[in-house]
Amino acid sequence: MKKNTIIYAIVGLYCISLLISLTMLFTKKPLISQKPRQALASMNPSSPKQAIAIIEVVGPIQMGQSPSRFMSYDAQSIVKKLRIFGAKPEIKAIILRINSPGGSVAAVQEIYSEIMKQRKENKKIIVASMSDVAASGGYYIAAACDKIVADPGTLTGSIGVIMELGNASELFRKIGVKMETIKSGKHKDSGSMFRTMTYEERKMFQALINEAYGQFVDAIVEGRKMDKQKVLQLADGRVYIGSQALSLGLIDKLGNDQAAIDLAKQLAGIKGEVKVVTENDPWERVFSMFGGADSKLPFQDLVSHSKVRFEYMLE
């Protein structure tokens, strides 16, 4: 009986602490305690009329495949935030804080296109601020920005495309498993893990890679205003650190987040005080307490890699 009472007391205290935490999270206070980074919701008439917004791009960039339905680092949510901030006249510039090794081709291109659109149609200044990693697809979206700032040790570059197809045919042969395939056309099971790829299929997939690679190179040429031959020399998949990237013309400045904010202020012609705002979902903080951003089902990685990877991704 005494043991049950202790258990009930522990559960009760946990529930109370969780309720208090949720109450604190959802009260309308600045999402980030530091003075220069205030929640958009906290802006009031007495606040500065000019603001800079920060959008986080964290982890692999996918199309609607966030680890949790409460997290919002997928391509669609990033595009949505770009549109929200782009429509606000008080937002004079946007900082895209990137800490990503890349992602799927389509998802990366969605973000790139929206950045270019906001720069052209809404005349927004957009500055990329690279964190630990902004490689491959991470660099792709940075190339769309007006300027790129990175730390000296940031890993970037890795310009290229990768596709990986599993082949478990030898394993299945050894354990006596044989797959029977019924298909509508000869290419319907191209890339199947149950048989060896044919020469014709390899040529077909290589053509896809070459096309996506060409799009990557063209995106850098367009966004960075670089000579195409120079981009081709750099775009062989190698990784650069920030200091190397600067000397090669892949980025514009070495510095931290504050350096990116200062550069955005300068480019946007902002004088005096500026409010730096974010738009975070309170659920992100709730789930981060439980490791929500990184939690996956044990078989999730296996499923996501079991068929085809077609990505701008740092390996």
Catalytic center residues: 136, 188
* 52-to-95, 272, 282 alpha-carbon distances in Å: 7, 13, 20
Cα–Cα dist 262/268, whole Å: 10
Cα–Cα nearest to 95, from 146, 138, 133, 47: 146
CA atoms within 13 A on the CB side of 70: 15
Q: In the structure encoding, which two tokens stand for residue 125, read together?
A: 């200044």
Residue with tokens 């997928």: 74
**From start to end of the chain, where are the E strands?**
37-39, 51-58, 91-100, 102-104, 125-135, 147-150, 155-157, 162-165, 239-241, 253-254, 275-278, 308-313
Query: Which residue is associated with the tokens 């109450």?
Result: 23
Cα separation of 287 and 96, whole Å?
A: 23
CB 150 within 8 A of CB 260: no
Is the CA virtual torsion 167, 171, 173, 176 positive or negative?
negative
**SS3 at position 141:** helix
State the Cα–Cα distance between residues 4 and 12, nearest whole angstrom. 12
Amino acid at 185: G
CB half-sphere exposure, 177, CA atoms < 13 A: 11
Given a contact cutoff of 8 angstroms between Cβ atoms, the answer to whether 99 and 133 are in contact is yes
Could you give phi then psi for residue 142, rounded to 5 degrees? -65, -35
